[in-house]
Structures are given as C-alpha cells and as structure tokens.
Structure 1
Amino acid sequence: MTIYTAITFAPVQGFIEKSRKLRDLYGASQILSYLSQQIVKLANSEDVISPARIKVQRGMPNRILLKGEFTQEQVEKTMLSAWKQVLEECRNWIEKKLPEYEYHWKKDWGKWGNYSWEIFVGKGDSITAAMEDLDNCKLSRGWIAVNWIGESSSLTGTDGIAFPGLGAEDRHPDKLNWRNEGMRIKEFYQKLAFILDEPHSDKEPKGKYIAANERLSIPELVKRLVTLPEIAKILEMSVLESSFSDIYRRPEKITEKDKGRWTGWFMGDGDEVGKYLKKLAKQENEEVSVKKFSQDMREWGKNFYRAFPQDLGRVIYAGGDDFLGVIYSKQNEDEIQPQRAFDWLKSLPEEWKKNKHKDITLSVGFIWAGHSVPQRDILQHCREAEKHAKSLGRDRITIRILFNSGQYVQWTCPWDNLDILNRYRDREGKSNWSHVYQDLAQLKSRHAFRIDAQTFDYKFAINFLKIYFPHEYVDQLFNDSTAKYIVGFSDDASGYERPTAIIAWINDMINIGWHLCSNTSSPSAL
C-alpha cells in the first residue's frame, strides 16, 4: 500500500509579517524556501509531489507532499538541522568580523535554534487522507517562547536585542546598569552596520543592511544577514541580485524640484488554493494532477519574477501563488505616473491566467504611497488591503491611496469591473477627473450626497455616476444580486447596509479614480 506524507511548519505568516523592511521580507522568504528545500531532499526526486523541483530555489511553498512514509522525527531533525546551520553561519560571521568582543550569546542562539518552529506531519494512504491528517495535526499546538532580559527589538518589540552580552550570567535585572548597557549595544550596532555596508571605507554607513540606530533580535538579524552574498553562497541560497537602495522615494532635502516620489506596492495571493489542492487530490490520477499544479504555479512565479518590466519596478518575491512587488523609478529617471501603474494593474489578471489553472482566482492589495510614509507602514497596509479584498468576496483588488499623513482612501473592485475607471467622460466628453471630483465635493458640502441610505436615496448616487460613466457596469448597481457581487456586501447585510455600501463604493471609486487616473495633479495628494 502506498503511503503519502504531508508536511508543513509554522509560524510562516508570523515570520514574514514581523518583517518591516524589504530586506527583512526578502530574507524571510529566502529562509522559508531554504527550509522547505531541505525537507524536500528527504525523498527521491521522483517521489516529490509538491513543491515541483525547478532550478530556482526562490519561492518554495511551505506545504510539502511526498510519496513515502517519513516520521515526525525525520522531518524535525532535517529541518531543525538546516535552521541551526543558518543561525550558526550568521553568528560565526559576526564573531569573525568583530573579534574584539567577548560573546556570551551562544546559548540564546541555541534557544532560537530549538524553539523557532513547529513542525506538522500528516500521513495517509492517499493524498487527500495525508492532507486531512495534516490539517488535524495543526489543530494541536505546542508553542514555546524564548525569554530574555533587557530591552526589546526596535523593529517588532517582541524579542530581545541581539548583542554580545546577551546571555551573560551576570545580567541580572536588579543589578544591570541600563545606561552602560545601552551604550555597549549602540557601539556594537554602529560597528556591525559599518562592516556590512562599506568595511573598507571611512564613510558613515548608509544602512544598506542594518541602520546604526536599529536594535534587532536574533531572528531579525538573521533575516538581514542571509541577504549578504557571502553567507547566501555558503548556505547555497539564491543570492540577492540587487539591493533595494535604488527604490527612490524621498530626497535628503525636500525642494521645489524634488518633493519626493509616490510609489506603488502590490501584494497578491491565490484564493483558496488549499481547497483547490484537495479537489485535485480527489481526481482519478491524483498524483499526476497535484504534481502538474505545483509545477505550473512554480513556473508562473519564476516567469512573473523575471518578466516584470524593469523600467516599472521589480518583484521582491514570487512564490507559487503569492507575490510582492514595487512600482518605482530610480533617482535619475522620470517618476512613474499613477496612470501607468493603474494600466499595469489592469493587465495583472491576464498575467495570472498564464498559470493554466483558471479556477484559482486572485486577490491583490495595491498601495499608492506618499514619499514620507515609513516602509514598515506601507507593508502593513499591503497586507491589510489584500485581506480586505479577500473579505469582500475574493477575485478582486483593493486600491489604497496612502498619504504622508498616514490617512488613506481605498476602493475594492472585482477584476472584471476595474476597467470602469477608463470609461470616465466629463461634461465635455473628455477624461478630466476634476469635474466629477469637484461636483461630488460640491454635493457633499451642500449635504446633497451622503453616505447613509437612511437619509439619502442611493439611486440618486447611481444616477449621478451614470452622468460620468455611461456604461452597463453602472446599471448593474440597481440590481441587488449584481450589486452584491460588485460592491461585496454580505448576505446578512441589513436593508440599509446594502444601499449604504453602494453609495460608499461610488464615493470611493471617484476618490481613487481622481488620484490614479486624473490627468491633473491632486492638491491633497502632494
């Protein structure tokens, strides 16, 4: 009887979401791919059902399906050995580069080696049975957190700062001189930033890998260090092809000629891929079907990563069905106009269809961000926008315009309705969005347009929209079932909630169109 083994580990989302910079995100993705790759090596190549083996290590999924029986002990030993090797290489690199310190932290690195991951193994006489057993195993969790003494990481605030004195036996909370320890930590990170940036220069470090004022925990430090080519090559990880310093957003000094640039950030994910896999596993030739699916998705990620227009930006990572990228221009190039970013967004569904699996839809969060918004905030908004798109029915995109103040406007739309923004025509038959934007502002100021169906007729809002968008899309808002699909309100929405949602959708659509598709500058966006 053939036995199948399904394997995964946690916390994957937590490991990624604790990233607050692109280098953290890239490093986290590389580590997860590396660990998955080491587990896959347990089986012969012909017995690996998922993920498919392609030449690119990048983007290895963390859900693994092998033909054959593999024990919990085997999997844990393989994965934890690989993780401990990553930690050891990073720790040894620091100690070798900064030999002037007396290091007490080896025990704490060992704790992270033992307690960073939970590993789950399911088995069955079919792929479906193995996957169901894996899901049952995941219901039982046994988490152990690593404790520490002292200040916490400046990135996430959840783990202790990694520095040579971490773990020293004389570090008792009642006896510590916090001021002196703070100075020692500051000195260590200044030196570490220097050797990572330009070790053979007298210039101040620019924070290419670590900023001198950052205070990182051991896992956060490791995410940065694995992007260092020297360490990546030792571990046989994919080497970061270029740094992120070319993403130009804000000059050192704001001037009339250079007020900073807006950038676009997109995060996408296939909808209900787990359910789709279970559906494939119930087909007559389950092994072939799941293998082909894995191969198709990994090939799509590889091609999407490589084919993204270089003059538009770059893809940070593209796994099987999830990806993150940035739309930007380099300092010496003309800035990317929002209309061009929107034109690319419209083409994304066709690009997604190249994965050959038409039943899997795509949800995306897109952020058009001002130059002063911190990168960690943008990444958090990306995650929130993608989740919002999924919560309103999936197969759609949530677009957020994120201002320097931290405020934002957003609009969620199904992919097949997104083209409505290109159907805009003003009073003169042209595409000057100022007319509809100003008319809406006038109506609001006179309380003639309110986002409240109890005091305002939502049909007036739809008819107002039809003046500028004479298209069948708009008429669909009068129909309850098609309006539900377009706007995304739930089945249990009350009588007033549904029309209110329609009015809000119209209001948000005009705001987003004004900022992304207008051929005139928006004063509020500068």
Structure 2
Amino acid sequence: MTQQYLITIAVGPVQEFIASARKLRDLWYGSYLLSELSKAVARTLENEGCTLIFPTPKKKTDLEKDSAMNVANKILALTLEGSDPQAIIENCEDAFKKQWKKFCDDAWKRAGTAVDKVLFDKQVEDFGEFFAAWTPYTPENYRTSLARCEQLLAGRKNLREFDEPAWNGSGKPKSSLDGIRESVITGKLSTNRAFQIKQGEQLDALGIVKRFGPWNHPDRPHFDNLAEVAALPYIHGLKIAVTKDQNGIKQKLQEFPSIDDLYPAKESRPPATSADWDQWPDDLPIDLLHPSVLEAELKRVDQEPEKEAFDQEPEKEAWKEIAHVLKKLWKQTIEPQPYLCLLVGDGDDMGKTLNDLAGKSEHQQFSSNLDDFAREVHNTVAIHCGKVVYSGGDDVMAYVPLHTALACCQEINTLFRKTMQKACAGTQVAHPTFSLGMAIVHFHMPMDRALVLARQAERLAKESGKNRLAIIQSKRSGSDLAITGGWDAINSYPSLPDRLYAFVQAYNQQQLSSRLAYQLRSIVNDCGDNLQWNNQGTTPLPASPATAEALRLICRKDIKRDDALLLLSGQESIRHLSDELVIAHQFSRARSISQANWL
C-alpha cells in the first residue's frame, strides 16, 4: 500500500494581522487577509488531491476568494496515496506568497506616490510566516499521527529565524500602529477623509495594506466608528420619542441642516453611516450627537486654512445651526452615553476536544459545525445592533452598544452550546464550553488599548474557571472595574447575566439608588468584606455585621426584604457585589435611554 501523509500548515503572524489597528476596518481587514491567505493554502491542498480536515468546506465554492467561509490560520489535510508531501507544501507556500503579494500590490496602487515603493517592497518580502509539518498516516493510527504532526509543527515554529532587515531604517519614523517597522509614508496622502489617515500618522507596509486594501474589496462591509456605536441607545430612544410625539422631538430633528450644508466638499465627508431611520436627516453622521465630536468638528471648521473666508461663511453658519439644534435636543432629552462594548471570546479546551475525537470523519464533522457557528454568529450579533469584526472557528470578535450587550453575550454562548451539541453528537467527547470577555470602553479610547482590555477580560474568564463571562469597565475617570461569573446558576447563586439583569431591573424601577454601590464599599472598612448567611431557617439571616449592614442599606429604598435577599443571594464579597452594581447601573442607564426614559 502506498503511503499517505497528514499535513498541517500554520500561516501568520496572527498577532500582527489582527492586533495592530487604529480602526475597526483595520481589524476586519487584518482578519480578512489572514483568512484569505489560509484559503489560498487550502485551495492548493485541495487542487493537489488532498482531503481537507480543517477547514471542511461543504462545497467547492467555499474556498473561492471572498467566499463567506472564514478559514483559520491552521490547516490540516490528508494527502493522496503516493503523493510527495514536501512538493505539496512547497506549492502551498508559493500560493501563500503570491496571494500576499497581490494584496500588497493592489493596496500600493490605491495609496499612490506618497509611499516609498522600494521600502514597501522590502517590507512585503520580509513579512509573513509559513510553517508546515507532515507525518505518515494510516487509518488505525490517526490520533498518533496527528499528535506527532502537531509536535513537529510546534517544534518548527519554535525554531526562530532572525534575519537582518533588508533595509536601513536609520532616521525613519516607526509605524504608529505598533512601532515595529519603519513607516513607508514619504509625503502627504490624499486629504480625502475616506482614507482616514490622521495627520502625522505613520504606517508600515502592513499598515498601508490594512488601510487601503479594503477599498479594493468589492463587498467591503461598513464598520461604524465607535462613536456611532455608542450613540445607538440614544438613537433608539429618539425613535420611540418621535413615535410618542414626546417633547416636540420630531420637529427638532427637522431643524437639522443638511449634510450638503455641513460638508460642501463631498470628498471631505466622513465615511459614516446614518441612523437608518427615515426621521433622521439623510446621510448625517450620528456621531455628531456626542458633544465632543461636535466640538471637534466646530474646531476643524474654524481652523480650515485652505478656504477663503467668504467661502467658509455658509459652512460655518450651518455648523452653528446644528450646534444650536443639538443643544436644544440634549436639553429636552439627555446627552448620549459615550461608551460601547467590545467582545472577544472563544471555546474552552478546544485542543483537548480535538485530541479526544477518534478519527478523521469526526474531525471533519467538528470542523464543519465550527464553520456553521462562525457564519451564524454574524446574524446573532446583528440582531443586537452590533457587528462581528472577526469570526473563525470558535473565535469571535465583535462590538455592540451598551443596551443590547448582555443579551448579545448570552445568545452567542447559547449558539456555541447548540453548535457543540451537534458537533459532538455520536461521540464520547465532552462538549466544549465558551468563555467571553467584554470591555466597556469610551469611544475615544485608542483601538489597541480597547482590544487589550477585551482580551484581558477574556483571559480573566478563562483563568477564573472557564465557561464564564468577564466584564472590564474602563471609565475615563477612576480605575478599571472587573467582574466575572458563570453562564449558569449554581445552587441558589444566579448566573452573572441573571444577576446583572436583576440589578438593571431594580435600577430602572428606582428600587436601588445609584449611590448604593459606593455606600456598600464604605461597609468594608468598618465591617469587613465577607457576606455570610445563616441558612438554618426558612429565610436566610445575616450571619455577620457586614451582611446585616448591606441588607439594611439595600432595604432603605423602595425594595422589599425578600427582593433584597434575592439580590444578595449567593454573594460572598461586598466589593464584588459593589462592582457588579456599578456596571449594572451603566447598563440600566443605556437601557433607559434606549426606551426614551431620559431622567
């Protein structure tokens, strides 16, 4: 019998493709690049007659360029009998390099003459990782062969190659995104705001590809800027207020000047979306609802040097008018919250699950179901007014507004559970669970910092037991708060989402004071942090001074003792309870605003 081989290939570097970003579009395009490069490798393997295991396309068109399928950076395949694995891998590497070069050349054509082409080409040639390993295979030793193949790949990846850069970077500024490579920008790029190059921003070759590459994509998705996402609860509230004809808000919306008045030069208009609502002025960016965004635009108009004063006057008058209308609107309602949520999550112990699967067909079934999850999660997030930036296999990165964030997280977890039940059906493998991190951030926070917080939250969920939700709240004033808890109730202790829902409801019904969380913290200094209960009777009784004082504080508002006991159920730490209350209050304000409750 002629020999077959298992081949595993890893492309990258993952961190630089999807971590270095200033804009959501940079993030999306980085993950898109990685998927398309992996797809080029998978196509080559299939053309060589190999059987793909990861990914497992359902139809041949799944591996075509720009298909809906996302391919992770790691590929596993089985060769035909008698094939030369080394020759196959060389062809795969050639396909990887050609696809990468095409992406780079297309982006450079968009960027134009302001890019140092010589330096750009040298960085393009230097960039990219392609690692591969193979091992003999027989159906009887699939798991052994796979383990050996993974071991060889890990060894190859750990064998670092450190080559001297092919260019002289002396005296050149570094990339603004990550500071790793020198900038290839030599002159002033187009002032067209669609390119969104900040004044003074420096980009290396990868940064240029990320920033300009999307404009070559025929169906590139629109990504809201973070200010737009933060404004969505307010927009939903305005819709309800207009329906109810509340405070003459409908009339105020009709007083807005048109976008033609605000941005006479069409090329200067920000690439923002409107509110997707017929009562909202056509094409007017919703991020102008934030006072800080309006202030920045007013300052920009005042400082524009290239126009004659006569030409600027109508534009300045339009901006004065929108400022006047917005101030009246804020007085009748409230200023929008400037916060939103960034989500990062993935499956728990996926490597162990894959190792426990018995054979090739089970791996293919599992892979196919993971692809279903990666596709379906887009709709789950969209229903909650958010958007997926990246989904591949069990990994998800998305953003959502505050008023829908909790529900979105729960539904992502539910979708993953259902997918794993299907993926593991007929096997003896335990179903993997899902850990998700949420970062609540200000829309002015730099994207790289927001990503770090979201990944920290995901790591917190993993390190505190997995199968959990972790939330980090980062306000512009004060220190960050972090809470974590399971998706499921444990005995009398509700799940973290259910606890937060209960707090949100109590806040919205004005049963809890917004000051309660901070009043509880003062108890810690006097009575300690531990909440203890005597559960011998039918009703739990406080078993420590701290518990009695916490119960007294909560019952001072219009809340019954039984309801207060329910809110405290299972809590062991006053400080943790306080942090949950602070974060729940922010969710409750967003929900109130989205329902046109402005007080």
TM-score normalized by the length of structure 2? 0.64
Distance in 2 separating the partners of 1:433 and 1:276? 46
Cα deviation for residue 463 of structure 1 reads 6.2
Q: Which has the larger radius of gyration?
A: 2
The answer as to whether partners of 1:267 and 1:323 remain within 8 angstroms in 2 is: yes
Picking from 147, 151, 154, the partner of 1:128 is: 147
**Paired residue type of 1:232:** H
1:293 equivalent to 2:340? Answer no
Q: What residue ranges of structure 2 are gaps of 5+ in the alignment?
A: 231-286, 296-325, 422-429, 489-494, 532-541, 552-560, 594-598
Q: Any unmatched runs of 5+ in structure 1?
A: 164-184, 195-204, 234-238, 329-337, 479-501
Q: Secondary structure at the match of 2:72?
A: coil
8 Å CA contact 2:345, 2:397 repeated in 1? yes
Q: What is the match of residue 398 of structure 2?
A: 325
Q: Distance in 1 between matches of 2:226 and 2:4?
A: 52
CA contact under 8 A between 1:398 and 1:411: conserved in structure 2? yes
1:44-123 paired onto structure 2 within 5 Å: 44=46, 47-53=51-57, 55=62, 56-68=67-79, 70-71=85-86, 72-95=89-112, 98=113, 105-106=117-118, 108-123=120-135
Partner of 1:351: 415
Q: 1:459 to 1:446 in 2, by over 3 A?
A: closer
Aligned match of 1:374: 446
% identical equivalent positions:
19
Paired residues of 2:517 and 2:582 also in contact (CA < 8 A): no
- Match of 2:323? none
1:106 & 1:425 partners in 2: Cα distance? 57
**CA displacement at 1:118 relative to structure 2:** 4.4
Is the 8 Å Cα contact of residues 6 and 131 (structure 1) preserved in structure 2?
yes
**Contact between 1:400 and 1:408, CA under 8 Å: does it hold in 2?**
yes
Q: 1:439 to 1:299 in 2, by over 3 A?
A: closer
Residues 134 and 21 of structure 1: CA distance in aligned 2, closer, same or farther (over 3 Å)? same
In the alignment, which residue of structure 2 is the partner of 1:218?
205
What is the letter of the counterpart of residue 509 of structure 1?
E
Pairs within 5 Å for 1:478-489? none
Give 3-state SS (helix, strand or coil) of 1:447's partner: helix
Taking a change above 3 Å as real, the CA distance of residues 316 and 10 of structure 1, as seen in their structure-2 partners, is: closer
Write the letter of the residue equivalent to 1:227. P
Matches of 2:35 and 2:355 in 1, distance apart? 23
Helix, strand or coil for the counterpart of 1:142?
coil
Cα distance between partner residues in 2 of 1:351 and 1:118: 33
Q: 1:448 aligns with which of 522, 526, 536?
A: 526
Is the Cα contact below 8 Å between 1:462 and 1:506 reproduced in 2? Answer: no
Question: Is contact 1:115-1:145 (8 Å) kept?
Answer: no
Deviation of the 1:20 alpha carbon: 3.0
Q: Distance in 1 between matches of 2:125 and 2:68?
A: 22
Q: Deviations over 1:481-525 (max 9, x none)?
A: xxxxxxxxxxxxxxxxxxxxx45433322222232246779xxxx
- Of the structure 1 ranges 395-404 and 112-121, higher mean CA displacement relative to structure 2 is found in 112-121
1:162-311 aligned at under 5 Å gives the runs 162-163=184-185, 185=186, 187-189=187-189, 191=190, 194=191, 205-228=192-215, 231-232=216-217, 239-245=219-225, 248=228, 249=230, 250-251=287-288, 252-253=293-294, 256=327, 257=330, 258-259=335-336, 261-280=338-357, 283=358, 286-310=359-383
SS in 1 for 2:45: coil
Does structure 1 retain, via aligned residues, the 8 Å contact 2:111–2:212?
no
- Counterpart AA for 2:150: M
Residue 371 and residue 246 in structure 1: after superposition, are their counterparts in 2 closer, same or farther (change >3 A)? closer
SS at match of 1:244: coil
- Report 1:353-502 matches (<5 A): 353-357=417-421, 359-405=431-477, 407-416=479-488, 417-418=495-496, 419-424=498-503, 431-432=509-510, 434-435=512-513, 437-438=515-516, 440-441=518-519, 444=522, 447-448=525-526, 450-451=528-529, 461=546, 470-471=565-566, 474-475=569-570, 502=573
CA distance in 1, matches of 2:148, 2:129: 24
8 Å CA contact retained: 2:68, 2:375: no
The answer as to 2:553 corresponding to 1:512 is no
What is the CA–CA distance in structure 2 between the aligned matches of 1:218 and 1:29, rounded to whole Å? 16
- What TM-score, normalized by structure 1, do the two folds share? 0.72
Say if 1:371 and 1:436 are closer, same or farther in 2 by CA, change over 3 A: closer
Over 3 Å counting, the alpha-carbon distance change for 1:160 and 1:447 in structure 2 is: same
Which whole-Å CA distance do the structure 1 matches of 2:389 and 2:592 have between them?
Answer: 31
RMSD: 3.5
Q: 1:156 corresponds to which residue?
A: 178
Match of 1:341 among 405, 416, 423: 405
SS in 1 for 2:56: coil
> Which amino acid in the other structure matches residue 317 of structure 1?
Y
Which residue is equivalent to 1:168? Answer: none
Give 1:348 shift. 3.0
**8 Å CA contact 1:301, 1:319 repeated in 2:** yes
The answer to whether the 8 A contact 1:29-1:59 is kept is no
Change over 3 Å in CA distance of 1:365–1:425 after alignment to 2: closer
Counterpart AA for 1:506: L
Kept in 2, the 8 Å contact 1:87–1:113? The answer is: no
Deviation at 1:433, TM superposition (A): 6.0
2:31 and 2:390 in contact (8 A); partners too: yes
Aligned pair in 2 of structure 1 residues 120, 440: CA closer, same or farther (>3 Å)? same
- Give how far 1:221 is off: 1.0
SS at match of 2:382: coil
Cα gap change, 1:341/1:364 in structure 2, threshold over 3 Å: closer, same or farther? same
Structure-2 residue corresponding to 1:19: 21
SS at match of 1:308: helix
Q: What SS class does the counterpart of residue 42 from structure 1 fall into? A: helix
Bigger Cα displacement from structure 2, 378-387 vs 28-37: 378-387
The one-letter code matched in structure 2 to 1:511 is V
CA distance in 1 between partners of 2:410 and 2:102 (Å): 43
Contact 1:342 1:517 in 2 (8 A): no
SS in 2 for 1:366: strand
The amino acid that maps onto 1:268 is G
Aligned length: 434
* Partner Cα separation in structure 2 for residue 473 and residue 46 of structure 1: 58
Query: In 1, distance between residues paired with 2:5 and 2:543?
Result: 59
Q: Distance in 2 between matches of 1:132 and 1:459?
A: 54
1:41 counterpart SS class: helix
Distance 1:81-1:449 versus aligned 2 partners, 3 A rule = farther
Structure with the larger helix share: 2
Note the C-alpha offset of 1:12. 0.8
Determine the structure 2 residue equivalent to 1:30. Answer: 32
